[in-house]
Amino acid sequence: MRKLPIPAWLVAPVVTLAVVAAIFAGSGRPRHDAPAPPQAGAWQGRVVGVTDGDTLTVLNGQMQPVRIRMAEIDAPEKSQPFGSSSKQLLSDLVYQKTVNVRPTGQDRYGRTLARVYVGDEDVNLQMVREGGAWAYRQYATDPETPKLEAEARAARRGLWSAPASQQTPPWQWRAAKRSRGQSPELQQASATAPAPPTTAAVAVTCGAKRYCSQMTSCQEARAYLQQCSLGRLDSDGDGTPCEALCRP
């Protein structure tokens, strides 16, 4: 039996439908230029307040204010040298802007610890890059943070343009402030206590050691704390590093 040819006017619609179907089927495949999916737990909000160089208030999706403590950095306290400049720098970066908040935990004061982004800009890193904050080494896990601090220090940007006597890390500043608030009995005990060993004679290489278990003496631990701002050695913020070595 001889097959009859299929008319062209029937073939065209079939081809067209096949092409359309292929296009829609391909739309489910990931595109290389598509934006990355949002991080789990991340949310957006508008910044309505800036307390200092590492603390801000953001309205969440329910229009509730959420206090954010920026993770892995530590800015000068308001009463410290450069404290007001650090606050102004953060305000310039985020105030009245919509930010992406990526929580990493919660601190002991109930504030949300987070990385904060304006668009693709990591504001936490930007504060360190511009000399507005220290890398909070006790808690920092991102190797980029201390690297940017070293670059800002070398370029004398922001707080690093101040005299060395005014470059006290905030965690040491807070410890000293707590010490000044001691009772008269504790102040008298502190006044009569022997002075801590000097660190001037100890030569250290910042980055060579990072933990108390690597320290060979209290003098070395103090040198790393003071010369390298290695805050992780002073876990309770009292100004004394590596209590196992430095406590009598």
Distance between CA atoms of 168 and 156, rounded to whole angstroms?
15
Q: How many CB atoms lie within 10 A of CB 233?
A: 26
Map residue 16 onto helix, strand or coil: helix
Catalytic-role residue among 111, 115, 137, 222:
111
Catalytic-role residue among 77, 130, 149, 220:
77
Largest CA distance in the chain: 117
Distance between CA atoms of 139 and 121, rounded to whole angstroms?
21
CB distance 244 to 212 below 8 Å: yes
**Residue 175 DSSP label:** H
Give CA angle at 229 (168, 188), nearest 5°.
60
Distance between CA atoms of 225 and 197, rounded to whole angstroms?
13
Distance between CA atoms of 115 and 61, rounded to whole angstroms?
18
Is 69 catalytic? The answer is yes
Is 46 catalytic? The answer is no
Beta strands in the chain (DSSP E): 43-52, 55-59, 65-70, 73-74, 98-106, 112-118, 121-122, 134-135
Is 77 catalytic? The answer is yes
Cα R_g (the chain), whole angstroms:
28
Location of structure tokens 């829609």: 24
**Residue 158 DSSP label:** G
Query: Looking at the annotation, which residues are catalytic?
Result: 69, 77, 111
